[in-house]
Amino acid sequence: MRLFSAVLLTLLLGSAAPVRAGNIEVVRVWPAYRTAQSFDRIGLYFNGGENSAGKSIQRTRPATRDGYYFLVRLDNPGAAVAGATLEVSVITPASPEPQAFSFKADVPAGSHAFDLGLTGPDWPGPKSGAVAWRVTVRAPDGAELASQQSFLWARPASPAP
């Protein structure tokens, strides 16, 4: 009976969800290359402004819209987080070393999407895709609030010879 209780306790503790400050959750990340034309909307022709369609759009090179984007959907059941940082770390076919990009953003309460673009010289081109990536949401003090990564980001260590 004591063994059963120990196993049950271990299973319950092992299955607990990780605790995140602020309870922010990265619901989904959709990485894809997008052309400048994919951002064109009818409003662009009437008022000259880019229609964000209810999401926050940020680019490493704001003047360039072509690039590789990470559409990140966050769920924040708590209070808004002003001055947060969204970090995108990515490994490209051009280099095995990860490159990191930071975007300052206010994370509102509720569900919100962020379109984070690696644009201009920060991305090798339309035929390149991310080999591996990791998106991290950080509080203003740098504490990690949430993260999500691709399967290949957590590649297993090489076996010892």
CATH number of the CATH domain containing 97: 2.60.40.10
Residue 15's pLDDT band, with cuts at 50, 70 and 90, is: very low
**Is 132 within the bounds of a domain?**
yes
Mean pLDDT of 9-19: 33
Residue 90 or 38, more confident: 90
Write out the residue range of the structural domain in which residue 82 sits: 20-152
Residue 109 or 13, more confident: 109
Q: Which amino acid is at 5?
A: S
Number of domains comprising the chain: 1
Residue 94's pLDDT band, with cuts at 50, 70 and 90, is: confident
**Is 39 within the bounds of a domain?**
yes
3 state SS of 121 = helix
**Is 2 within the bounds of a domain?**
no
Mean pLDDT, the chain, whole residue set: 82
Residue 130 or 158, more confident: 130
Neighbours of 151 (CB within 10 A): 7
**Is 158 within the bounds of a domain?**
no
Burial class of residue 102 in the structure, from the number of CB atoms within 10 Å of its CB (0-12 exposed, 13-18 middle, 19+ buried): middle
Q: What is the pTM of this model?
A: 0.78
pLDDT, tens digit (0-9, with 9 covering 90-100), for 33-87: 999 887 776 655 666 566 556 789 999 999 999 999 999 999 999 999 999 999 9
For residue 135, what are its two tokens? 């998106």
**Is 159 within the bounds of a domain?**
no
Query: Residue 55's pLDDT is what?
Result: 85
